[in-house]
Amino acid sequence: MHETTTLLIEVGALLLLLGLLGRLSRRFGVSPIPLYLLAGVAFGTGGILPLNASEEFFAVGAEIGVILLLVMLGLEYSAGELVGNLRAAAPAGLIDAVLNALPGFAFALILGWGWLAAVVLAGVTWVSSSGVIAKVLGDLGRVGNRETPVILSVLVIEDLAMALYLPLLTALLAGIGLIKGGLALGVAVFTVVAVLFVAIRYGHLISAALSAKDPEALLLGVLGLTLLVAGLAARLQVSAAVGAFLVGIALSGPVAHHATELLSPLRDLFAAVFFLFFGLVTDPRDMPPVLLPALALAVVTMGTKLLTGYLAARRAGIAEPGRWRAGFALTPRGEFSIVIAGLAVAAAHPVEPKLAGLATAYVLITVVAGPLLARLPDMAWFKRWLRRRAAAKPPAPVPATD
């Protein structure tokens, strides 16, 4: 009973704090994500007042938060749009991998950490945070923007790539050999293809099984289906986020519309819990020794993400302001980066003692800076700069006529 009482007090106090911070952030017109993270750091491991009883509760809530963020994004698009965007964004996905994985790989080698640590750090710097970006797009009202499908395509390609990368990395860290590693990779590929096939081919049947006329049944059905698919995907070494996103893609029509309305409050609650939990498990004492290297790596890779988004949006025919919005939106890293670093730390033979601290500091820098950078294209001075930039460009040549 005492433990339950302590849990209720801690959860209630932290949720109340999140509510106050959210209201404060909106009063000043900024994203609440950095405030949620800093609150977690303050009351987590090594903070000013560590709260331990509620950590397990928030760990589960954080997982649900990422899943809800991704299923809500999936509900905005149809299966046909997903396939079309993935085909169009495939070259951008390749550019993304080259521009953002190579800096992490090279950085680890420069620090003398060895090739295995380099493979780990490449994954940490490669993948943007779907959870953070989904929250930022919602906060800034950009879900319906023309550049948003480009951003989502890059994120989905990254998540699908993680479905291949994580089993391979796990095999390398465990030293289980090529045969078992190849088997794990094959299971991941088969699972992704199977889920995509079901979502695209039989999505209308899934929607028909869920009644849009009964809000309670619809809420329970969609939430249950999302968590079930996400859990099965994670069990098969595929990203739970990918599974949740594909559930959203599979639903269509009135079911998707009403599910969006019903799930929105839950998404907001658990998304805040996700960012709080990330701060709770971040020990600020581990970061000072690696803060400068993490800052340098963050500056370089936020620049490469900006270039990735800009090039992807330009290739899709998006205008100049949308290219910058796409680039800045992709800068935060998050859940996958921490998972990758965690795998390396938990390996039977730890790869590099400083890797966890570096990854945590790096992710925290990008998660705090990313939502702030995403607001730059909406600022008056940035819009003036874009207009001057456009005016300075030479006019397009007029074709000669006979």
133-146 pLDDT tens trace? 888 888 888 888 99
> Which pLDDT score, from 0 to 100, does residue 173 have?
76
Domains (range + CATH), the chain: 77-270+288-379 (1.20.1530.20)
Mean predicted confidence (pLDDT) in 265-285: 82
Minimum mean pLDDT among 4-8, 208-212, 324-328: which range?
208-212
> Which pLDDT score, from 0 to 100, does residue 322 have?
94
Burial string for 92-130 (b: 16+ CB within 10 Å, else e) reads: bbebbbebbbbbbbebbeebebeebbbbbbbbbbbbbbb
For residues 212 and 261, the answer to whether their CB atoms sit within 8 Å is no
> Which pLDDT score, from 0 to 100, does residue 402 have?
45
Mean predicted confidence (pLDDT) in 302-313: 94
Is the per-residue pLDDT at 300 higher than 90? yes
> Which pLDDT score, from 0 to 100, does residue 77 have?
67
Minimum mean pLDDT among 59-73, 167-181, 195-209: which range?
167-181
The predicted model scores a pTM of: 0.73
Is the per-residue pLDDT at 209 higher than 90? no
Is the per-residue pLDDT at 400 higher than 70? no
Mean predicted confidence (pLDDT) in 231-251: 77
Is the per-residue pLDDT at 68 higher than 50? yes
User: Of 248 and 195, which is predicted with more confidence?
Assistant: 248
Is the per-residue pLDDT at 399 higher than 60? no
Burial of residue 276 (number of CB atoms within 10 Å: 0-12, 13-18, 19+): buried
User: Of 46 and 102, which is predicted with more confidence?
Assistant: 102
> Which pLDDT score, from 0 to 100, does residue 308 have?
95
> Which pLDDT score, from 0 to 100, does residue 332 have?
92
Mean pLDDT score of the chain: 82
Task: Give ∠ CA 247-256-164 in degrees, rounded to 5.
Answer: 20
In SS3 terms, the chain reads as CHHHHHHHHHHHHHHHHHHHHHHHHHHCCCCCHHHHHHHHHHHCCCCCCCCCCCHHHHHHHHHHHHHHHHHHHHCCCCHHHHHHHHHHHHHHHHHHHHHHHHHHHHHHHHCCCCHHHHHHHHHHHHCCCHHHHHHHHHHCCCCCCCCHHHHHHHHHHHHHHHHHHHHHHHHHHHCCCHHHHHHHHHHHHHHHHHHHHHHHHCHHHHHHHCCCCCHHHHHHHHHHHHHHHHHHHHHCCCCHHHHHHHHHHHCCHHHHHHHHHHHHHHHHHHHHHHHHHHHHCCCHHHCHHHHHHHHHHHHHHHHHHHHHHHHHHHHCCCCHHHHHHHHHHCCCCCHHHHHHHHHHHHCCCCCCCCHHHHHHHHHHHHHHHHHHHHCHHHCHHHHHHHHHHHHHCCCCCCCCCC
> Which pLDDT score, from 0 to 100, does residue 15 have?
92
Return the top range by mean pLDDT from 7-16, 242-251, 346-355.
7-16
pLDDT one-digit tens code per residue, 337-361: 877 877 776 666 667 778 878 888 8
Task: Give ∠ CA 284-56-281 in degrees, rounded to 5.
Answer: 10
Of the candidates 323, 285, 287, the one whose C-alpha atom is nearest the C-alpha of residue 307 is 323
User: Of 319 and 196, which is predicted with more confidence?
Assistant: 319
pLDDT one-digit tens code per residue, 96-122: 999 999 999 999 999 898 888 999 999
Is the per-residue pLDDT at 126 higher than 90? yes
